[in-house]
Structure 1
């Protein structure tokens, strides 16, 4: 089980959902973990859960859309643990729901800043550290919306398509530097983000369920398992890939 003993994993958006599940999966595999999020209470709770799994853990409050805060996050991780072997760039928001012609500009900017610029900033400084230490693995959280359209959430769709593009570009740029870069494309995973989309409306939730060929929502742990595999030696020849964890939705 402890395939990541002596390794260090960084997870943004680690206070809940896929991020928290991935932190705990890394911990169960023996890695030290760094949890980044704007939600201090949730982030510290994730750290407590990781420590309960007998691993070292650190929380750093981080707004991923701010370069100085991302730099501080990477510096804190390296100061505490000496390196960053794995990174899951997972922080993201749903944004407003409105038709494109009616979409508020300030909402567009916020979604792009967090979901796309935030991933770019995290990769920028993670890559700098990984180059110094001789390698590493980055996984970005895109979405099935990174390969298909969806009505009413144009900013979210655009941001997640952008994450796929960033992933492929970085994978090619650093393929010969012992750094692999991949993305997961979660389908409808039952997380707080989905509750944001549904607004507590059971009918909308049922529509999400019916859209999944497998007939149910995904669990955060199922997305986390994909991240763990992409970071493992079992995926040593995998870079620039987009791995759908979507119950068959894209199919």
Structure 2
């Protein structure tokens, strides 16, 4: 990444959860802002192809290099292997945005099964960690790049996107607390004041 560029993001961007939602829009935004090389991961192949097609028509570059891979972020081998393939394809990763995540069941908390709970936790936390771990492994060993205006840059940047549900509860959260009150149970949360 030694060439000077007019693009705001002259390097290689990797986006997880790129088939829909925030991940899709992040990938498209990278292309609009001039990133010509994108690695897009998701377990929804159809959505990934749609995102790639949109990037091809909206990119500032006439022929962006969009590398898409079907990846289940719960599978350690898939995450590791597909990161390796992205590095082999591009040689480096400069920007990583981890957006893969799920909402989870909309039931009363006592009705959620341990399997449903584990699936949400594994997808949203462990899956993010697996990607960040692989990204760090490659970023810490690559050379320092340059910025869009030629200044010395960095080895890479990672942004982890999480749900605001960590700060603001789902609509059923209040109902769950009311249910606990009716059952003469108490629930406290220091951060939220519940």
Q: Shorter-chain TM-score: which interval? A: 0.7 to 0.9
Q: Are 2:8 and 1:3 aligned? A: yes
Which whole-Å CA distance do the structure 2 matches of 1:51 and 1:8 have between them?
Answer: 16
Match of 1:119 in 2: 128
Which whole-Å CA distance do the structure 2 matches of 1:81 and 1:20 have between them?
Answer: 20
The aligned runs of 1:144-159 (5 Å cut-off) are 144-152=164-172
Shift of 1:141: 1.0
TM-score by length of 1: 0.58
- What RMSD over aligned residues (CA atoms) do the two structures have, in Å? 1.5
SS at match of 2:168: coil
Match of 1:141 in 2: 161
SS at match of 2:140: helix
Shift of 1:119: 0.5
Match of 2:41 in 1: 36
Which whole-Å CA distance do the structure 1 matches of 2:118 and 2:158 have between them?
Answer: 25
Structure 2: which 5+ residue stretches go unaligned? Answer: 1-5, 144-154, 174-194
Q: Which shifted more, 31-40 or 49-58?
A: 49-58
Q: Are 2:70 and 1:66 aligned? A: no
TM-score by length of 2: 0.74
Shift of 1:149: 3.0
Instruction: Compare the two structures and name the one with the higher helix fraction.
Output: 1
Post-superposition CA distance 1:190-246 (Å, at most 9, x none):
xxxxxxxxxxxxxxxxxxxxxxxxxxxxxxxxxxxxxxxxxxxxxxxxxxxxxxxxx
Which whole-Å CA distance do the structure 1 matches of 2:172 and 2:140 have between them?
Answer: 40
Post-superposition CA distance 1:45-75 (Å, at most 9, x none):
1112222323110110000111111111211
Q: Are 2:22 and 1:18 aligned? A: yes
Q: Are 2:104 and 1:90 aligned? A: no
Match of 2:108 in 1: 99
Shift of 1:2: 1.5
Instruction: Return the index of the structure with the highest Cα Rg.
Output: 2
Q: Are 2:144 and 1:129 aligned? A: no
SS at match of 1:2: coil
Count of equivalent residues: 152
Post-superposition CA distance 1:56-115 (Å, at most 9, x none):
101100001111111112111111111110111101111111122221111111111111
Structure 1: which 5+ residue stretches go unaligned? Answer: 154-251
Match of 2:56 in 1: 51
